Amino acid sequence: MPVKIDEAIPQQNFETISLFLASQLLVELDNQKTIQSFVENHKVFLERSTGVDSREDAVILNVLFNSMTLVSKNQFDAMYMGTYFIDVYTSGKAEKDNTGDKVVGLLLMKYLGLCRYIFESHKVRDVINPNLKLNASVASISVLEPTSNQDTNFSRMGRISMEIKFAESQNVFTGIAFSENHTHIKLQDTDDGFQLILK
């Protein structure tokens, strides 16, 4: 059977959006750490599949593509509604005036709030090419009950679910163009998955 597609298939928009979300999250959180003098560290991952250890000395954020559902289609392109997860993991121990579960709970609320603000800000959403008329919104936020280990470390996890409407096409349009390129960010292959690093 002869080959039908003789052009190189470009990166799909649902892939590009994942990288954009993770990249923007990293630069915005780094900026907030500087502005507000946060004492805690954070690490941003893309599609991390390994478990998060409560002894990791950082707030862990993991951007995950979940699904895409067809909304409409014509002979040129198709419109989809994509669902993306931003999982946030916090860990810590009891402090002088706070129990361990309260420490990690307050830290989790802080970072869920930061993420919600970042992705609902028009300053971030407008970075994506407005000609695509993308709709992006935080659809829900959920949290799990705190857990504790034998070593008195507490941990907690929250999930932000984002819904993003975007187009995919063949030959007519080859990908999402951003008005900003994060060329100063690279993906580093670590034992825990791909971690975003500022060059």
pLDDT per residue over 170-187, tens digit each? 765 455 555 556 667 888
Label residue 127 by pLDDT band (50, 70, 90).
low
Whether 33 shows a pLDDT value over 90: the answer reads yes
CA distance 145 to 75: 47
Strands (E), the chain: 42-46, 59-73, 77-92, 135-143, 147-148, 154-169, 185-190, 193-198
Label residue 153 by pLDDT band (50, 70, 90).
confident
Q: Does 7 reside within a domain?
A: no
Q: Does 81 reside within a domain?
A: yes
Q: For residue 75, what are the domain limits?
A: 13-198
| Claim: this prediction has a pTM higher than 0.75 | yes
CA distance 108 to 89: 7
- 146 Cβ contact partners less than 8 Å away, ≥ 6 residues apart: 100, 101, 104, 105, 154, 155, 156
Label residue 36 by pLDDT band (50, 70, 90).
very high
The b/e string for 27-63 (b: 16+ C-beta within 10 A; e otherwise) is bbbeebeeeeebeeebbbbbebeeebebebeebbbbb
Q: What is the pLDDT of residues 71-125, one digit of tens each?
A: 999 877 899 999 999 999 998 876 777 777 788 899 999 999 999 999 998 887 6
pLDDT score for 102: 83
Give the CATH number, domain containing residue 51: 3.30.2000.10
pLDDT score for 173: 46
Q: Does 108 reside within a domain?
A: yes
Q: Does 3 reside within a domain?
A: no
Q: Does 8 reside within a domain?
A: no
pLDDT score for 157: 94
Share of the chain above pLDDT 90, in %: 44
Q: Does 109 reside within a domain?
A: yes
Domain count, the chain: 1
Identify the three-state secondary structure at position 41: coil
Q: Does 67 reside within a domain?
A: yes
Whether 162 shows a pLDDT value over 90: the answer reads yes
pLDDT score for 69: 97
Using alpha carbons, list the distances in angstroms from residue 163 to 17, 107, 135, 146, 147: 11, 25, 8, 26, 29
